[in-house]
Amino acid sequence: MVTTSPSDPMTELATPVESPAKASPSTKANNPNPIAEQDAMIEIDDVSFSYDMGKTNVLKNISFNIPAGKVTALIGPSGCGKSTLLRCLNRMNDLVDTSKVTTGQIRIMGQDINAHDVDPIELRKQVGMVFQKYNPFPKSIYENVAYGLRIQGIKNKARLDEAVEKSLQRAALWNEVKDRLNSSALGLSGGQQQRLCIARTIAVNPRIVLMDEPCSALDPIATARIEELIAELQEEFTIVIVTHNMQQATRVSDRTAFFYLGELIEYDDTTTIFGNPSVTQTEDYVSGRFG
Ligand SMILES: Nc1ncnc2c1ncn2[C@@H]1O[C@H](COP(=O)(O)OP(=O)(O)OP(=O)(O)O)[C@@H](O)[C@H]1O
Ligand SMILES: [Mg+2]
């Protein structure tokens, strides 16, 4: 996957991974690792992260495993490090010169993604990202979705047509745009543009889709469409979503991780985090008493 060697663990593990048992033992605070390694798509193992070459850590010794084929929500007050952690998962933080993973390891399908032989561009094909502000390219609807495929060297028109249609269908946008594929993507509504960005992300068939507050710029109807879409996409992809919307976390996610000041405070089934959390801080946050 990240490298082309057939013995590459990411390639070897690119077979369906068993979903984690919902009945795994309840998570306790500070030891939030209820998902067995073999069931984890992403293993975050004692990760600390700094934007100033290690002088201050904005993520502090984070450990938890993210299950395959599920939706995991990251919640917590502004500035607690949710986006930073999300960007660690596809090495987007590499773009910040002074950034540094100061401790620990992130493994995706068993592969240490910060290992020297991992190509971040290849990694990002497997770990796609959807941003808060939808950001289609100033190109046609078709070309937005075909973009990643063209970069992969796919030129065959029939193959591109098929992939564009499939991705737009998977993103629940096909029916709305099939008659205007050559029109500018910028002419779509905000909610449509965000679904287009999702189509563009899934067109290259990633294993994981990271979403950083994907609905925060959308109205309630467009938000509901994206939430429905997330539920459908979870059958094919492992999804990690940052959200400030507590109702959204309860609606879309299977598991929730609560962060505060760079620390993982609690990680568990979403129903437990919102219904019966172990830590008072979690309870205060999910009930709106702070944050
Ligand atoms: N590129 C950067 N350079 C330096 N510091 C950064 C950078 N990006 C984020 N930070 C800092 O890292 C900390 C965590 O930020 P991050 O964006 O991960 O928080 P967040 O939980 O996503 O917040 P929000 O809910 O407001 O989006 C903050 O103190 C922030 O100021
Ligand atoms: Mg953020």
pLDDT tens track for 198-236: 999 999 999 999 999 999 999 999 999 999 999 999 989
Instruction: Indicate which residue's Cα is closest to atom 28 of ligand 1.
Output: 79
Q: Whose CA is nearest to atom 29 of ligand 1?
A: 79
Q: Which of 82, 87, 216, 242 to mutate to test the pocket of ligand 1 (most atoms within 8 A of CB)?
A: 82
Sign of CA dihedral 49, 93, 122, 236: positive
Decide if 193 contacts 136 (C-beta within 8 A): yes
Per-residue pLDDT, 15: 32
**Nearest ligand for residue 78 CA:** 1
What number is the average pLDDT over the span 286-290? 89
pLDDT band at 34 (very low <50, low <70, confident <90, very high): low
φ, ψ of residue 238 to 5 degrees: the values are -90, 125
pLDDT tens string 47-67:
999 999 999 999 999 999 999
Span 39-49, mean pLDDT? Answer: 96
Per-residue pLDDT, 39: 81
Distance in Å, CA 67 to ligand 2 centroid: 22
Q: What was the pLDDT predicted at 260?
A: 97
Select the more confidently predicted residue: 5 or 156.
156
pLDDT in tens, 275-286: 999 999 999 999
Whether the CB-CB separation of 41 and 207 falls below 8 Å is answered with yes
- pLDDT tens sequence across 85-102: 999 999 999 999 999 999
CA of 246 to the centre of ligand 2 (A): 15
Closest ligand to residue 87's CA = 1
H or E, element range at 50: strand 40-50
pLDDT (0 to 100) of residue 37: 67
Percentage, residues of the chain above pLDDT 90:
84
92 to each of 44, 114, 221, 255, 288, how far by Cα in Å?
Answer: 16, 12, 30, 23, 31
Residue ranges with CB less than 5 Å from ion ligand 2: 83
Do 276 and 27 contact (CB within 8 A), yes or no? no
CB 144 within 8 A of CB 194: no
Answer for the pair 111, 10: CB distance below 8 angstroms, yes or no: yes
Give me the pLDDT at residue 32, please.
55
C-alpha 76/C-alpha 60 separation (Å) is 14
pTM: 0.89
* Residue having the nearest C-alpha atom to atom 24 of ligand 1: 78
From the CA of 131, which ligand is nearest?
2
Q: Is the CB of 214 under 6 A from ligand 1?
A: no
**211 C-alpha to center of ligand 1: Å?**
16
Question: Residues 263, 264, 270, CA angle at the centre, nearest 5°?
Answer: 150
What was the pLDDT predicted at 6? 38
Q: Which residues contact 207 (CB under 8 A, 6 or more apart)?
A: 1, 14, 41, 108, 109, 126, 127, 237, 238
User: Cα separation of 112 and 128, whole Å?
Assistant: 17
CB 73 within 8 A of CB 256: yes
Q: Is the pLDDT of residue 195 over 70?
A: yes
Q: Which residue's C-alpha comes closest to atom 14 of ligand 1?
A: 81
Q: Is the CB of 230 under 6 A from ligand 1?
A: no
CA of 237 to the centre of ligand 2 (A): 22
- 164-181 pLDDT per residue, tens: 999 999 999 999 999 999
Q: Lay out the sheet containing 40-50: strands in order across.
A: 57-67, 40-50, 100-108, 111-112
pLDDT of the residue at 290? 78
- Taking the CA of residue 242 as reference, the ligand 1 atom at the shortest distance is 22
Positive/negative CA dihedral, 70, 173, 217, 106: positive
Q: How far is the CA of 85 from the centre of ligand 1 (A)?
A: 10
- Beta carbon of 131 within 6 Å of any ligand 1 atom: no
Answer yes or no: is pLDDT of 17 > 60. Answer: no
84 lines ligand 1 (CB under 6 A): yes
* Measured distance CA(11)–CA(273) in Å, rounded: 34
Distance CA 116, CA 30 (A): 30
